[in-house]
Structure 1
Amino acid sequence: MKTISPIASHSLFAPILLLLMASPLMALEPSPVGEIFQNSPGDWEFVSNQSDEFDSDQVDTAKWNINTEDLGTWSWEPENTFQLDGIMHLRMVQEDHQRGNNKLAYKSGIARQYTTATYGYFEARVKGCDLFPGASPAFWLHSKGPENRFMATDGETVAYSEIDVIELQQGEYNDTTKQNNGVDIIDCNLHAVLIRDGKRQWIRPGTHPETNKNEYHASFDPRKDFHVYGVENNKDFVIWYIDGKEVARKPNLYWHLPMHITLSLGLRRPFETYKNGGREAVLENTTREGFPTEMLVDYVRVWRNKNTIAESSTPNKQSNGSKVKTKTRSGNQLDNEVAGHSMSKSQFVAMEKAKWESNGWPWNREKVESNFEEIDVNNDGVASGIERQKWFAKKKASLK
């Protein structure tokens, strides 16, 4: 049930109420669940352009990209993200298909905002999917693009920031209990990529639990009802809240890049597995039982602290649901500038297209995109210089 902050009681209540009824433009602004801002309520302001009540009949595709680039062991398809009766639905279905050289069995829904935010309070009211195990509803923030860099206070160069407000129902293997987690375990984790000696190095919850990992043992089943999940990201700490109560916090080491607010429903065991540092589909476990399954989102609301100097609400590109593309130059100038650096898929395709045209080859975009999938071995959406060097060396060796 959507709620908004109450009107203060005073002698002018009646005329104000009449004025509000007469003018829908004077709608009340929501307040966070709980007493998140109790120490400094005047410091916070509601960010309407990054918030959404999902009350319209269709997804606001000027705000949300529901046709993003594909990653992982499933594919995103826009028809799996839709709105009905004031709720955003993100649906996963069983559908065999091929992406590049990979045979896959599931498609799902995602909604990622075009605008970015760094610091603020981010809140969503979410109901998990019925299926467990097998799918993980997520509310998260992540940076995008190799052009983003941040120098952390410890001297590290940060190339990627990700804050998982929640990943529900993951059911991951627990090294302490020696068994898979139950549906009551809610993951509130952090991920980052650092540049060390010119190479990208992932900093993940499994390898750096002291700085990146939080497990919340819920007293409820997230599949059964809606709950409110939130995170405050400020310059000093990342702080997680569930139903208005703080459940975890970590020092903010590497989470200072502009990030996209994202809702998604991802595939999990037994339909995928981790192997050689990456995810692989387990096609022999494919089934239609339990599918389709849906994650439901009642609203997303964002506030920012007026006293914090933040990189917030910065548009990347808005194009009615089309994939976000990075502006690139053509020809040898592009090739020389990005050859030794990390590249997004759109940058790689642009570089290869310029090469093909300069050599007089008939353009084959499908082939180039398939090559990118092979190069991006860690499925992070970026082809690093090291990944490309290894791939080209392997191709060259195969021609001998």
Structure 2
Amino acid sequence: MKRLIILFFIIVNCTMTLYSQKKTPQPLGINGNWTIQQDFSDEFDRNINKNKWSTNIDNWPAWSSDSRKVLIKNKRLQMSIDWDKHKRNGKQLYFKSGILTSKKKIKYGYFEVKMKGAPRFPGASPAFWLYSRVRNSGQNVKYVEIDCPELQSKQRDNDIISWNVVHINKNNVRMPIRQETGNGLGPSKKFHVYGYLWTAEKIEFYIDGKKIGRTVQNKFHKYAMNLIVSLGLREPYYFYDKNGVRQPVPTPDTPSKFPMTSEVEYVRV
């Protein structure tokens, strides 16, 4: 009995020691003592947490979202996009895709994702971003967005990685600051860690822990935003009309490059 009691206390002590040694994940290559924001973070080691995430937003002009195209498999978030001819509000559309959106909004922090792009090109862009539709702000802005990354969004090169800071004014004029790199990382073939630091003074962009870009904060990007991971449709399956709105290109059958799937290992904020 005495031996059993001693063994019990040894096991408890070891368990407590291991637990105490478990550290909060820190951003790759970014110094500081960071605290994970659980409402916006996920290791994707179980079912999608519907208390923090939404998987069904259908307001894209040239395609629709579909909650069935978002799942967790082998401890990875998998988002797919495929040809799916359908009508929404009387408008003919041809594709549906997966999206994961935080239910809560956040203002400022470090945002990090480990993801791999779609294996085929072109036509779809995996992305990690923030956005907000601004109402009653008293300022000349109705929409704000921060992107890092947008993968495979440029038809000319599969390796291009884009990061953007965007706002749309009350006259629907889109005002983007766009930067990109095509440094041979092979985003469609390998997982990479993408991140951005958003503060009241600046927005910095990172790939695999290395800073690759920076923009000075402006008055428009000081609103709380929703966090999104998505796999959106891209050219040649839509075009921009004279008002700068994406419109669907008629696509009568499944293109040879579809369906496509992108994977995410984790999101940490």
After TM superposition, the score normalised by the length of structure 2 is 0.88
Contact 1:127 1:222 (8 Å CA) reproduced: yes
Corresponding position: 1:225 with 2:190: yes
Give the match's secondary structure for 2:133: coil
Give the match's secondary structure for 1:283: coil
2:25 corresponding residue in structure 1: 30
1:84-104 C-alpha deviation (Å, 9 max, x unpaired)? 111111111111111123211
Corresponding position: 1:203 with 2:175: yes
Shift in Å, 1:20: 4.6
2:217 corresponding residue in structure 1: 252
Corresponding position: 1:182 with 2:180: no
Higher Rg: 1
Give the match's secondary structure for 1:214: strand
1:164 corresponding residue in structure 2: 147
Shift in Å, 1:32: 1.0
Shift in Å, 1:275: 2.0
Shift in Å, 1:47: 1.5
Task: Name the amino acid aligned to 2:167.
Answer: A
1:7 corresponding residue in structure 2: none
CA distance in 2 between counterparts of 1:168 and 1:157 reads 30
Give the match's secondary structure for 1:257: coil
2:39 corresponding residue in structure 1: 49
1:243-298 C-alpha deviation (Å, 9 max, x unpaired)? 00000000111211101110111111111111212111111475331221111110
CA distance in 2 between counterparts of 1:20 and 1:142 reads 41
Shift in Å, 1:16: 7.1
Task: Name the amino acid aligned to 2:248.
Answer: A
* Alpha carbons of structure 1 residues 97 and 20: separation in structure 2 relative to 1, 3 Å: farther
CA distance in 2 between counterparts of 1:107 and 1:128 reads 17
Shift in Å, 1:28: 2.6
CA distance in 1 between counterparts of 2:62 and 2:212 reads 31
Task: Name the amino acid aligned to 1:32.
Answer: P
Contact 2:39 2:102 (8 Å CA) reproduced: no
Task: Name the amino acid aligned to 1:89.
Answer: Q
CA distance in 2 between counterparts of 1:157 and 1:213 reads 20
Q: For 1:58-137, list aligned pairs within 5 A.
A: 58-137=47-126
CA distance in 2 between counterparts of 1:88 and 1:28 reads 23
Contact 1:184 1:221 (8 Å CA) reproduced: yes
CA distance in 2 between counterparts of 1:200 and 1:118 reads 24
CA distance in 1 between counterparts of 2:267 and 2:61 reads 25
Give the match's secondary structure for 1:60: coil
Shift in Å, 1:145: 5.1
CA distance in 2 between counterparts of 1:105 and 1:20 reads 55
Stretches of structure 2 that go unaligned for 5 or more consecutive residues are 1-10
Contact 2:62 2:247 (8 Å CA) reproduced: yes
Decide which of 179, 187, 193 is 2:168's aligned counterpart: 193
Stretches of structure 1 that go unaligned for 5 or more consecutive residues are 1-13, 172-179, 205-211, 303-400
Task: Name the amino acid aligned to 2:42.
Answer: D
CA distance in 2 between counterparts of 1:16 and 1:181 reads 58
CA distance in 1 between counterparts of 2:121 and 2:24 reads 36
CA distance in 2 between counterparts of 1:116 and 1:183 reads 32
CA distance in 2 between counterparts of 1:300 and 1:268 reads 23
Give the match's secondary structure for 2:119: coil
CA distance in 2 between counterparts of 1:126 and 1:143 reads 23
- The structure richer in strand per residue is 2
Contact 2:134 2:141 (8 Å CA) reproduced: no
* Alpha carbons of structure 1 residues 285 and 97: separation in structure 2 relative to 1, 3 Å: closer
Task: Name the amino acid aligned to 1:31.
Answer: Q
Give the match's secondary structure for 1:82: strand
Shift in Å, 1:50: 1.7
Contact 2:108 2:199 (8 Å CA) reproduced: yes
1:271 corresponding residue in structure 2: 237
Task: Name the amino acid aligned to 1:18.
Answer: T
Give the match's secondary structure for 2:142: strand
After TM superposition, the score normalised by the length of structure 1 is 0.61
Task: Name the amino acid aligned to 1:252.
Answer: Q
Decide which of 257, 262, 266 is 1:290's aligned counterpart: 257
Q: For 1:339-378, list aligned pairs within 5 A.
A: none
Give the match's secondary structure for 2:26: coil
* Alpha carbons of structure 1 residues 17 and 168: separation in structure 2 relative to 1, 3 Å: farther
